[in-house]
Amino acid sequence: MLFVWFPFVFFSFFLLQDKEPKKFTCRNSVILELATPKLVDVKESQKTEWYREGYFSYISYSDRSHIFVHCGFMVKRPFLVEEDFVVLENNISNKGHFRKGYKKSNNLFWREDFYAEYGVTIAYKNIKEENLSIFDKSLSNIIFKK
C-alpha cells in the first residue's frame, strides 16, 4: 500500500513550486509566505493593484484559475459572495472566516480564508477538481511572520 501512495505524495509535492515561496508584506510588519501551485503546461502571471488602505495581488494561470491575496481594510468581506458562489463550508472563529464551495456557472471550485489577526484574505477560484488538492495545500500551508 505504501508503494501505491508514494508516487501520489511525491507528485503532489512536486506540483507546489520548488523555488522560494512568494512573499507579501502587509502593513510593514507582517510577511506572508505562500508556495503557489506549479501546474504542468499552465503559465503563471502576477499583478498587484494598490488602493489607499492596502492592495490586491493576483496570481493568474492560463487555465483561468487564480489565487488572490488582499491586505488592507476598508473593504467589505467576504469577497466571493455573488449568487453564483455556492457555499459548501463556512467556518467563523476568533482566527477569522474560512469558506469554500463551487460556482454554479462553471462547476469550478473556490476557497476564501480571512485571517482577522493580520487583516489578510487569501483566496482561489476557478479551480478544476483535479487541481483542488494542490491549491488547498498551498492555502493551508501559508506562513505568517511578524
Query: Distance between CA 29 and CA 142 in Å, rounded?
Result: 16
Look up the domain containing 122 and give its range: 2-145
| Whether the predicted pLDDT of 91 surpasses 90 | yes
The answer to whether residue 68 scores a pLDDT higher than 50 is: yes
Give the burial class of 123: count Cβ atoms within 10 A of its Cβ; 0-12 exposed, 13-18 middle, 19 or more buried: buried
What is the total count of domains within the chain?
Answer: 1
Tell whether the model's pLDDT for residue 1 goes beyond 60: no
- Residue 37 pLDDT: 86
pLDDT score recorded for residue 17: 52
Once rounded to an integer, what is the mean pLDDT over residues 67-94? 94
Q: What pLDDT does residue 41 have?
A: 74
CA-to-CA separations, 67 to 37, 104, 139, in angstroms, rounded:
10, 19, 9
- Rounded Cα distance between 66 and 112, Å, is 12
Which three three-digit cell numbers place residue 44? 503563471
Contact by Cβ (8 Å): 102, 108: yes
pTM above 0.95, yes or no: no
Check whether 13 has a pLDDT greater than 70. no
